[in-house]
Chain A
Amino acid sequence: MVTGKDTLTIALSKGRLAEQTLDLLQAAGYDTSCARSGSRKLILEDEKAGLRFILAKPADVPTYVEYGAADIGVVGKDTLLEEGRRLYEVLNLGFGACRMCVAGPAWMAGKLDGIPNKRVATKYPRIAREYFELKKRESVEIIKLNGSVELAPLVGLSEVIVDIVESGRTLRENGLEVLETIADVSARMVVNRVSLKMKSERIGALVAAVRAEMARTGVKG
């Protein structure tokens, strides 16, 4: 909990994002071998380097960081928007890029605003609610689903969906298309608000090293 003045705890989003993050940190000059042992441990520590990685479910990464259980986290912007935690968002790492969209049957294109009392199926109830209620000033019914959201409009559970779109292939194969884009999302490095003050030198050095590596490989962060 922002303890150990000498340890920097980094929360990684389990899966491909964790791999990409470790690759980036390795390239930026950090020894990440402790996190690549392939074990099933959830905490991977390099005591000598004062570096500790924790592997968490992506949706939980912002929580670990907000409470200070991790100083730094790497997580998708979609998760950050959905969780709405109070964090510093210091870097856009560029990878994991996709779009948060409103999607629905093709005939709805350009007619979305004319459909009253829409039902919106989504894994991201908060993002959907904020988009429709705050930005479009429209009351909608949010239906929370946990996966295969594309199914909802096909079986009449909802008129539209709010979901992450990478290539758009799943949508097309199910006769849906992007109607509106809510936000561009990609992996972000977030920092706990206290950690940034209490461990400013180490965190500053890490951010600078990652930024330099991204500049070298031509990623705009």
Chain B
Amino acid sequence: MGDWRFHTPDGVQDGLPDDCARKRAIESALRAVFAARGYLEVETPGLEFYDVYATGRGLAPQEALFKLFDSQGRILALRYDGTVPVARLAATLMKDEEPPLRISYVGGMYRSAGAGGGKQSEFTQAGVELMGPRTAEADAEVIATAIAAARAAGVESLQVAVGQVEFFKALLEEWGLSEEDAEPLPGLIDAKETLALEEIADRTGLPAAAREALLLMASFEGTFDTLDRMEALTRSPRALAALRNLRDVLRLLEEDGLLRYVSVDLGMLQSLDYYTGIIFKGFTYGIGFPVLSGGRYDNVVAEFGRALPSTGFSLGVNLVMAALRRQGSVPPKAGPDTLFGYDPSVRARAMAFVAQERAGGRAVAVDVQRRSAPELRAEGARRGVARVLYMDAEGTVR
């Protein structure tokens, strides 16, 4: 048997002081962004009943849930994401709260086999859910919040790709493909495999307009003109309404001066069982995975018995930290700003002085080894603490 006592399990990490300090600073900045927009933070448990995630067609893949059993043999799952527990909360303990509900969270998420963002098994996500309104304003508000959050966390070069999964679902309905032919389409479009899409279009005899729409969705030169071209390729009122919704959201973001962060990608077709409208992902340099993602999920809260159309996003704090590091931003050294020692004969006065310093906002580490002033200064030099103070027997601080 291996001896694992010196190791941490796959996909989890210790946070050393410098990184931990930066992480807390980022979390505080995110909380401030959320609070300033009226989102109220909640805390959901680290353990949920497995049923919470197994409801409906499954709100999380079974194989990515960490599972254990409680004393009655019921299956539990470690918290997989922020949204589903909040959806449960909105439909149970908060069921009498009038919409809109503005809820935020910051917490650790757990996904087995490194299924989490950046292939981690444990990671921190911060996010918001805006529950109730089914408006373009709500979608735009959540995207704007996501951009503000990423900026506050220190991400300078941010690109947010915005898509609309309802548009694709409506096209599928319009085309009337068999389930078998339709099944591989989202994956192929999402991976931009145009060749395979052409084959399917040929085999199923899709009309020219449908074929063009299919390939346009998978093309990666997605810009705002894409929307104009798409509009001419469908007659489905449902698809056109979805496009209009996307346009409305983009117009609102333009009015907010956020369009420079935004691009259009109608080919983003992930988690189609979960998302029902706008979907978006945020990218930056330094990390091969999106640092934030979100979208509209109108049917998730209904799984818990309350009809509450919702939209939200989450940002991966660890991913942002990895990106910042690779972009060359080294976390500042964590530590006290003052080292303080004193002559044992004046301890009471020394402690009063320290209390005063701390009340003034200083982080003061007090010597507990009765070291002399020169010893303390040497210690300060070694630890990189510039401010070293010593109270001598006369009560003078130098």
Does B66 sit within 8 A of A, measured CB to CB? no
A202 CB → nearest B CB, Å: 13
A90 CA to B221 CA, complexed, in Å? 11
Does B159 sit within 8 A of A, measured CB to CB? yes
Interface code B279-311, partner A: CB below 8 Å = 1, 0 otherwise? Answer: 000011111111000000000000000000000
A110 CA to B126 CA, complexed, in Å? 56
Known contacts A88-B220, A196-B220; A221 and B195 CB within 8 A of each other: yes
- Partner pick for A3 among B161, B283, B285, CB 8 A cutoff: B285
Interface code A191-215, partner B: CB below 8 Å = 1, 0 otherwise? Answer: 1111111101000100100000000
Does B326 sit within 8 A of A, measured CB to CB? yes
B87 CB → nearest A CB, Å: 26
**CB-CB < 8 A to B161: which residues of A?**
197
Are A194's CB and B263's CB within 8 A? no
**CB-CB < 8 A to B195: which residues of A?**
92, 221
Tell me the count of chain A residues lying within 8 A, CB to CB, of chain B.
Answer: 28
Does A89 sit within 8 A of B, measured CB to CB? yes
Are B288's CB and A197's CB within 8 A? no
**CB-CB < 8 A to B193: which residues of A?**
89
A8 CB → nearest B CB, Å: 13
**CB-CB < 8 A to A44: which residues of B?**
none
Does B192 sit within 8 A of A, measured CB to CB? yes
A66 CA to B194 CA, complexed, in Å? 19
Interface code B155-184, partner A: CB below 8 Å = 1, 0 otherwise? Answer: 001010100000000000000000000000
Residue among B119, B221, B289 with max Cβ neighbours from chain A (10 Å): B289
Residues in B216-253 with C-beta less than 8 Å from chain A: 220-221
Are A1's CB and B159's CB within 8 A? no
A127 CA to B57 CA, complexed, in Å? 26
Chain A residue at minimal CB-CB distance from B199? A184
Residues in B309-334 with C-beta less than 8 Å from chain A: 326-327
A196 CA to B140 CA, complexed, in Å? 24
**CB-CB < 8 A to A3: which residues of B?**
285-286, 326-327
A201 CA to B263 CA, complexed, in Å? 13
Are B220's CB and A1's CB within 8 A? no
Residues in A63-84 with C-beta less than 8 Å from chain B: 65-69
Specify the main secondary structure of chain B where it touches its partner. loop
**CB-CB < 8 A to B220: which residues of A?**
88, 90, 191, 196, 200, 204, 207
Are B283's CB and A194's CB within 8 A? yes
A37 CB → nearest B CB, Å: 28
Are B191's CB and A87's CB within 8 A? yes
Residues in A154-176 with C-beta less than 8 Å from chain B: none
Chain B residue at minimal CB-CB distance from A220? B195
Does A5 sit within 8 A of B, measured CB to CB? yes
Are A69's CB and B191's CB within 8 A? no
A88 CB → nearest B CB, Å: 5
B365 CB → nearest A CB, Å: 36
A69 CA to B284 CA, complexed, in Å? 14
Chain A residue at minimal CB-CB distance from B198? A220
**CB-CB < 8 A to A207: which residues of B?**
220
A30 CA to B221 CA, complexed, in Å? 21
Known contacts A68-B289, A90-B192; A198 and B221 CB within 8 A of each other: no
Residue among A65, A198, A204 with max Cβ neighbours from chain B (10 Å): A198
**CB-CB < 8 A to A11: which residues of B?**
none
**CB-CB < 8 A to B327: which residues of A?**
3
B198 CB → nearest A CB, Å: 10
Does A2 sit within 8 A of B, measured CB to CB? yes
Are B288's CB and A66's CB within 8 A? yes
The 4 A-B residue pairs whose C-beta atoms are closest, nearest first, are A68-B288, A194-B283, A197-B283, A88-B192
- Residue ranges of B at the interface with A (Cβ–Cβ < 8 Å): 119, 157, 159, 161, 191-195, 220-221, 263, 283-290, 326-327
Q: Name 17 interchain pairs, CB-CB below 8 A, sorted by A.
A: A1-B287, A2-B285, A2-B286, A3-B327, A65-B288, A67-B119, A69-B288, A89-B192, A90-B194, A192-B288, A193-B289, A193-B290, A194-B283, A194-B289, A198-B283, A198-B284, A198-B285
